[in-house]
Amino acid sequence: MTTPPSAAPTAPGVAVIGYAFMGKAHSHAWRNVGALRPGAPGVRRQVLVGRDADAVAVAADQYGWAESATDWRAVLERDDIDVVDVCVPGHLHAEVAIAALEAGKHVIAEKPLANSLGEAEKMVAAARAARAHGVQSMVGFNYRRVPALALARQHVAAGRIGEVRQVRIAYLQDWLADENAPMTWRLRRELAGSGALGDLASHAVDQVRHLLGQEVTGVNALTETFVRRRAGADGPEDVTVDDAAWSTLRTDGGAVVSLEVSRMASARKNAFGIEVYGSSGALRFDLESLNHLDVALDGADSFSRVLVTEPDHPYLDGWWPPGHVLGWDATFTHQAADFLAALASGEEPAPSFEDGLAVQRVLAAIEESAAAEGRTVHVEAAGVTTEGVEDR
Amino acid sequence: MTTPPSAAPTAPGVAVIGYAFMGKAHSHAWRNVGALRPGAPGVRRQVLVGRDADAVAVAADQYGWAESATDWRAVLERDDIDVVDVCVPGHLHAEVAIAALEAGKHVIAEKPLANSLGEAEKMVAAARAARAHGVQSMVGFNYRRVPALALARQHVAAGRIGEVRQVRIAYLQDWLADENAPMTWRLRRELAGSGALGDLASHAVDQVRHLLGQEVTGVNALTETFVRRRAGADGPEDVTVDDAAWSTLRTDGGAVVSLEVSRMASARKNAFGIEVYGSSGALRFDLESLNHLDVALDGADSFSRVLVTEPDHPYLDGWWPPGHVLGWDATFTHQAADFLAALASGEEPAPSFEDGLAVQRVLAAIEESAAAEGRTVHVEAAGVTTEGVEDR
Amino acid sequence: MTTPPSAAPTAPGVAVIGYAFMGKAHSHAWRNVGALRPGAPGVRRQVLVGRDADAVAVAADQYGWAESATDWRAVLERDDIDVVDVCVPGHLHAEVAIAALEAGKHVIAEKPLANSLGEAEKMVAAARAARAHGVQSMVGFNYRRVPALALARQHVAAGRIGEVRQVRIAYLQDWLADENAPMTWRLRRELAGSGALGDLASHAVDQVRHLLGQEVTGVNALTETFVRRRAGADGPEDVTVDDAAWSTLRTDGGAVVSLEVSRMASARKNAFGIEVYGSSGALRFDLESLNHLDVALDGADSFSRVLVTEPDHPYLDGWWPPGHVLGWDATFTHQAADFLAALASGEEPAPSFEDGLAVQRVLAAIEESAAAEGRTVHVEAAGVTTEGVEDR
Amino acid sequence: MTTPPSAAPTAPGVAVIGYAFMGKAHSHAWRNVGALRPGAPGVRRQVLVGRDADAVAVAADQYGWAESATDWRAVLERDDIDVVDVCVPGHLHAEVAIAALEAGKHVIAEKPLANSLGEAEKMVAAARAARAHGVQSMVGFNYRRVPALALARQHVAAGRIGEVRQVRIAYLQDWLADENAPMTWRLRRELAGSGALGDLASHAVDQVRHLLGQEVTGVNALTETFVRRRAGADGPEDVTVDDAAWSTLRTDGGAVVSLEVSRMASARKNAFGIEVYGSSGALRFDLESLNHLDVALDGADSFSRVLVTEPDHPYLDGWWPPGHVLGWDATFTHQAADFLAALASGEEPAPSFEDGLAVQRVLAAIEESAAAEGRTVHVEAAGVTTEGVEDR
């Protein structure tokens, strides 16, 4: 069955490469982005791409795509595709994204940008070359589009908590806490790059840069694999990535950040918790309650719990009346809307591949420090900015 | 611009009548319902209907409908329409829904079923007549499809909190707290029927019936209008509906329910809070944190805070991995999915118009008691059941 | 063993009548009241009185009293006793308190003032007669001395939440939820007067008067006994008091209060929860977290969670640095301090016996309404004030 | 005015040296310890010692001591003193405690044990020598006696959260967040030893050892002074201690602990937060709500919020009925009770000076690591146990 696209022929044509978890979430975003506000740029949901022809056809139908395809390179040749949304596993990001940029397609790459620093640098080079002739790119740090976190950033930027001194950031999940959970490709270094570090700390480092508008200059770190062997299909196998990681980061603005990520934290599901302490206020957030932000602003002595659903809150104007909460999926819809708005206005979307690379450099420094008994590793200035059209 | 439908010609064709808040929310549901699971019945999003031709055309385009129209009666004549989703103001429910049923269309009517008991009774009669020849109907109490509340119902039904004795239920909003907020049609009895009572207490009464599987047999009540005059376009006008209402309800299972609804509760946005106390456990819910349910089951002495995002939780299997929260809008998507499943299986969808009438009778009794110094008013048994295909 | 008193001979001599739960709590207060601040009036902890000579001697030693005694009437004759603190069961309050006042002793009577309206009225008459010659009296509504509730009252009095419209107040405990819990004297009307009503609702009604500074003018109510027979020493016995009660109260300031009390609320231990909604703000409190007060003041749109441990918060100046929380027992210490301060200054302590009677009248009206199908029962104006030296 | 002691001549005679914050808190404990249970060993509250004769006399009277004194050495000579409770500033701990032990007095020393490792080692040597002839000693880590933390320890010891993998522990206060807060002796290294580290991290490290029953084997750390100059009496002065410190600790049981302490965390008052993640469960605690413990035991998937006020909870049997919360001060009363129980039974009280030294060694390692770019510093095994009569 073929589902026609849901927008005018002049709207950008989108292809999503990958139809697993992220492909499904991005499909949801493309399906809903046009509804957010009158006159917003619609999209043509052209094609969903995957390796298994039958499975991707079912998914395309289910998620509302006009077609499915198995050959992503052929899709890059099509004139009716303007945007390529890269939702494949991390070790394929560079290949697909670079080819798409070279084919003149605007690209969104899921986070983290790549599995290695080298790949990330090549992607940045490709993004810069493409940008020179108007082809745009973005890395998919969707949590920048949580309204509460966008509001948090506004408060920091407006000086309402003063000079930021301490950030506490932790991303805790429990899906590997059971030592009998089986081996997966995500626990093999050659496929996954790293463990909790790339998966979870990438979000955390991006938020530090986003919320503070500061760069990380140095790190101390420790990583640990608590369950070192797990049952594979043919017997026990070695786990070769981290289960958890800890780091302190220093920023060029003088702040100190403590970071902890784990997939072993029993009874925590998706607990991305952020606390920011400044000289005259503080902020507190938890992804499991993503519509709330606790704020102590302008010298306030206690936290006020704000339900971030008012029309003047970031990203909220296209949704429902106050008090009607959004889901996790809305972050991708906001991301798609911001990307389309950038394309329409000719501005550069953010976060850029350079932002993705900056995160990658911090992650690499964390691994280097962890391998060197935790001693300080300095992080090379990336020379990038986090400013861009995502500024709600 | 015409947006084609997003499903096969054999899928049910849907028309939504009304394109304001509820029309937008229902459009979101129809747009996303097909994505919830492979092989789920898709829909053709045919037509969005409203009085203002230009405005409804913009809305239809924005929300992803193939067409817009202004004459709802003409839409009822169309062969390509199988489902009519009634999102017009309450005083028009009866007229549109009855006509649609008589035209052989399956009908969803937004809650509350009607503004008056008389209208509701006519709607039930029409629904029964239609049902006799396979035409189905449902009233849109979407909060039955909050996963946490569906889970709560399962726990009660499984006896995990024992015999229910006390229910505390409150629905608190603040949008009328400011005495300078202007007059609106919602504050005129002839248009709105009632105030917080119909708007908020209808949800609350439906939840009592849904969670407990019991009927309300009698009520005592009080209503109040705190701000009796508000600024209208041509000077001060009388507010002729309640700002807040309080009631105690007795059920045929021996439980006592305290109910409080208000649109004057400063700093509360959409605080639909429910506490259920049984002989061996308790449950606690708050719509502002709708992904959580606090449970004390099987004699437990304290509340466990459950993030209701596991695959085995109700309604969750079509969504994201554990820990990724849903928004308020998902309740409508679940509602649409349940309705389509009922149509596909030939079962009767729930809650039925009879359920809607049962709620209406309780609301009428509350008004009667409030007018009679709070004395007990008995509620006529509706002879309906809350069981149906919404049983997740 | 005799424990000498812990203060100078010129300090007031105290006798506590009753050494069970309340006697122990009041003993704690008298033991610690002198430490709260330099120069505060100390007390001589003279005598603890009870019926069982051996048991009361052990208790007196344990709780730090100079002596124990069994004949409370003899204690009233002693010149070294200035204050009589009445901690006996409710049906004995009137007899002991009136005799003490007639003997010229200052009196604190535990709450509720009495088991019946008639007794309460006699106590008020005695208090008035005694007051005429400088003998003071107070009823022990200790929750007026929870710092967070004293702060709440200040906010209301200062107009920081505007005109109060709605109060939600519930006192929920679970110790009778188990239907196999045995019969006790507390479940017999002739001894206990009432059930949750006198025990829990008395606190609630006092808080309404205290927080709002308003009088209750009318009530509608319902009571229920869920478990009507319980196992006694010689077989099943009838429970003759309420397990739970519900009421709506109207005040002379135009507010409506919903009140619910229960000893059947599974998994709730001592959940005295209060919400106050005004025209420009709101307050929220829970006794299980008694050091916190949630405030939305001066039109604020969300609740700020205040840890009430700052030196400028009520009652805090004699304690610890900020952030060091107080226990439930501190409320009695504050009560004793306020009483001693009133004696020292010659002011009348508050809440007075008249305040206790005012509460009693509301409780009686609740019982009357519950017996009359919930219809409105008006409450006679008590002509008393809640103002007094407890005004922190 | 002389206040007589409140117990029998045969009860241990106590002297408290120091009458500031800690002297006041310990006085509260000695005043109340006898009331906790019938037959518990009472004490004679003999003498409060301080340098300012007038001030200490007022304090002694206020806090309920029989006498005051200015010469602590003379007090050590007295036969009526059995217990010396050392509440002087940290740099005097060693001198007073060692002299007291040598005089044959049982000693409690406030935490941290000393300002330097050298002093702590001398104190341990003195404690060992004294112990050989029955003279006991204890260091005052009072948070071991928070009922919720004692319960947490029981759960860990019983294996109810499995093998502990990760601990997150933070102690956050805000009293130095204001850069205009003036200079104090607490910010001078020569008097205070260190900043947040000694003051707050000492509690945290003790809890790690206490909760896990494991020793810290190595640390990585970072410290920071955000406000490096503050206004002194004669102009700006250098702050020579840390404002905040971060560390990861590894234990001999294979756990990794992240620790963060700060006195710059705006809007946090006394936020000592602890999270413990094991292979089959987790625990969560916050000192600002010290009567609660969140538990996920025996593989439970979510946290249950337990109000730790049941009679079978640690330390609760001498207090109030369920639901009546304790204050921060109760931890000292429990500490005194445990110490007296140890004296009475002849067991060694815990935590011992060796426990205090073990904490000190970790703090020293943290400082060493922080001075060495965060590289790993190993901690010498202290060869001590945390087991003792505090095992509730």
Please indicate whether, in this complex, the C-beta atoms of D267 and A296 are within 8 angstroms of each other: yes
pLDDT of the residue at B42: 83
Check CB contact under 8 Å for D301 and B305.
no
| Angle formed by the axes of helices D147-157 and D202-212, nearest 10° | 40
Residue intervals of chain D classified under CATH 3.30.360.10 are: 144-324+353-378
Structure tokens at C322: 């900020």
DSSP-assigned letters across all residues of B10-41: TSPEEEEE--SHHHHHHHHHHHHGGGSSTT--
Query: Which residue in C334, C381, C390, C385 sits closest to C355, CA to CA?
Result: C385
- For residues B142-150, average pLDDT: 98
Read off the pLDDT band of B3 (50, 70, 90). Answer: very low
Please provide the average confidence, as pLDDT, over all residues in chain B: 93
Vertex D330 angle, CA D327 and D333, to 5°: 165
Classify residue D58 by burial, with Cβ atoms within 10 Å: 0-12, 13-18, 19+.
middle
| pLDDT tens for each residue of C121-133 | 999 999 999 999 9
pLDDT of A119 strictly over 90: yes
Phi, psi (rounded to 5 degrees) for B31: -70, -30
| More reliable by pLDDT, B190 or B52 | B52
Chain A environment of C304 (Cβ under 8 Å): 300, 302-305
Inter-chain residue contact C304 with A300, CB threshold 8 Å: yes
Distances in whole angstroms, Cα of residue B279 to Cα of each of B157, B167, C175, C179: 14, 12, 11, 8
CA C270 – CA D308 distance, rounded (Å): 12
Instruction: Count Cα atoms within 13 angstroms, Cβ side, for D259.
Output: 31
Count Cβ atoms within 10 A of the Cβ of residue B338 and give its class: 0-12 exposed, 13-18 middle, 19 or more buried: buried
Decide if pLDDT at D390 tops 50: no
Q: Closest residue of D to A244, CA-based?
A: D166
Query: Before B314, cis peptide (omega within 30)?
Result: no
Distance (Å, whole) CA C367 – CA C247? 10
- Which residue on chain B is closest to C255 by alpha carbon? B226
C4 interface with D at CB cutoff 8 Å: yes
Say whether residue C35 is in contact with chain D using an 8 A CB cutoff: yes
Query: Minimal CA–CA distance to C101: which of C117, C81, C80?
Result: C81
Subunits with 3+ Cβ pairs within 8 Å of A are B, C, D
Q: How confident is the model at residue D44 (pLDDT cuts 50, 70, 90)?
A: very high
- Residue B381, pLDDT score: 73
The 3-state secondary structure of D18-74 reads: CCCHHHHHHHHHHHHHHHCCCCCCCCEEEEEECCCHHHHHHHHHHHCCCEEECCHHH
Q: What is the DSSP string of A93-121?
A: HHHHHHHHHHTT-EEEEESSS-SSHHHHH
Measured at the CA of D205, the angle between CA D202 and CA D206, to 5 degrees, comes to: 85
Give me the pLDDT at residue C169, please. Answer: 98
A-facing residues of D in 160-179 (CB < 8 A) are 161-162, 165-166, 168, 170, 172, 177-179
CATH 3.30.360.10 in chain A, residue ranges: 145-327+348-378
Contact across the interface for D288 and C325, Cβ inside 8 Å:
yes
Q: Are the beta carbons of A304 and C304 separated by less than 8 Å?
A: yes
CATH superfamily ID and name for B145-327+352-378:
Dihydrodipicolinate Reductase; domain 2 (3.30.360.10)
Query: What is the average per-residue pLDDT within B263-269?
Result: 97
pLDDT one-digit tens code per residue, D157-191: 999 999 999 999 999 999 999 999 999 989 999 88
Point out the least confidently predicted range of B126-140, B271-285, C313-327, D372-386. D372-386
* CATH match for D144-324+353-378 among 3.30.360.10, 3.40.50.300, 3.30.300.30, 3.40.50.720: 3.30.360.10
What is the spatial distance between Cα D82 and Cα B315, in angstroms, rounded to a whole number?
Answer: 68
Are the beta carbons of C281 and B264 separated by less than 8 Å? no
Q: Could you tell me the two tokens for A187?
A: 């626990």
B328·A320 Cβ contact <8 A? yes
C268 touching B (Cβ < 8 Å)? yes
Contact B304 D302 (CB under 8 A): yes
C142-146 mean pLDDT: 98
DSSP letter (8 states) at residue A33: G
The pLDDT mean for chain D works out to 93
* Distance in angstroms (rounded) separating the CA atoms of residues A308 and A283: 13
Min Cα distance B69 → chain A (Å) is 18
**More confident of the two residues C39 and C140:** C140
Q: Does D31 touch chain C (CB under 8 A)?
A: yes
- Ranges of CATH 3.40.50.720 domains, chain B: 13-142
Chain B positions touching A307 (Cβ under 8 A) are: 269-270, 288
C109 pLDDT above the threshold of 90: yes
Q: Does C384 score more than 60 pLDDT?
A: no
At residue D2 the predicted structure's pLDDT band, cuts being 50, 70 and 90, is very low
Contact A363, A202 (CB under 8 A): yes
Of all residues in chain D, the percent with pLDDT exceeding 90 is 90
Domain boundaries for CATH 3.30.360.10 within chain B: 145-327+352-378
Chain A environment of D161 (Cβ under 8 Å): 266
Mean pLDDT of B261-275: 98
Judged by CB atoms closer than 8 Å, whether chains meet at A325 and B21 is answered as: no
| List of chains touching C (3+ CB pairs within 8 A) | A, B, D
Cβ within 8 Å, pair C244-B170: no
Q: CB distance A374–D300 less than 8 Å? A: no
pLDDT for D246 equals 98
Residues with Cβ within 8 Å of D132's Cβ and at least 6 positions away in sequence, in order, are: none
Interface of C with A in 297-336 (CB under 8 A): 300-307, 310
What span, in angstroms and rounded, lies between the C-alpha atoms of C261 and C265? Answer: 9
| Mean model confidence pLDDT for chain C | 93
Q: Which fold has domain C145-378?
A: Dihydrodipicolinate Reductase; domain 2 (3.30.360)
What is the percentage of chain A residues whose pLDDT exceeds 90?
Answer: 90
pLDDT digits (tens, 9 = 90+) for D208-259: 999 999 999 999 999 999 999 999 999 999 999 999 999 999 999 999 999 9
Q: Which positions in chain B touch D302 (Cβ < 8 Å)? A: 304-307
Distance from CA of A326 to the nearest CA of C (A): 18
pLDDT of residue A387: 42
- Residues with Cβ within 8 Å of residue A238, at least 6 apart in sequence: A228, A229
Q: What is the pLDDT of residue A130?
A: 98
Which has the closest alpha carbon to D160: D293, D355, D287?
D293
Residue of D nearest to C23 (CA): D320
Of the pLDDT bands very low, low, confident and very high (cuts 50, 70, 90), residue C1 is very low
CB-CB neighbors (< 8 A) of A156 in chain D: none
Q: What's the average model confidence in pLDDT over D347-368?
A: 97
pLDDT at A92: 95
Contact C171, C245 (CB under 8 A): no
Q: Which fold has domain A145-327+348-378?
A: Dihydrodipicolinate Reductase; domain 2 (3.30.360)
pLDDT in tens, A178-205: 999 999 989 999 888 899 999 999 999 9
Which residue in this structure is represented by tokens 């096969």?
A: B8
User: Nearest Cα to A243, choosing from A203, A186, A287, A204?
Assistant: A186
Do C318 and C36 meet the contact criterion of CB atoms below 8 Å apart? yes
Mutate to test the interface with D, among B291, B302, B303, B310 (most CBs of D within 10 A): B302
Task: Report the pLDDT value the prediction gives residue A381, as an integer from 0 to 100.
Answer: 73
pLDDT at A142 > cutoff 50: yes
pLDDT of B104 above 80? yes
Give the residue from B306, D325, B260, B282 showing the smallest Cα distance to C292. Answer: D325
**Mutate which of D291, D295, D302 to disrupt the B interface (most B C-beta within 10 Å)?**
D302
pLDDT higher at B389 or D264 = D264
Tell me how close the Cα of B278 comes to any Cα of chain C, in angstroms. 7
Tell me what the mean pLDDT of segment A62-88 comes to.
97
Sign of CA dihedral B207, B210, B211, B215: positive
- In the predicted structure, residue C388 carries a pLDDT above the cut 60: no
Helix (H) or strand (E) holding B342: helix B330-345
- pLDDT for residue C392 is more than 70: no
Give the mutation candidate from B277, B298, B369 for the C interface (greatest C CB count, under 10 A): B277
Amino acid at B231: A
Which residue from B minimizes the CA distance to C253?
B226
Ranges for all domains in chain C classified under CATH 3.30.360.10? 145-378
Distance from CA of D303 to the nearest CA of C (A): 15
- Other beta carbons within 10 angstroms of residue A138's beta carbon come to 27
Fold for D13-142, please state it: Rossmann fold (3.40.50)
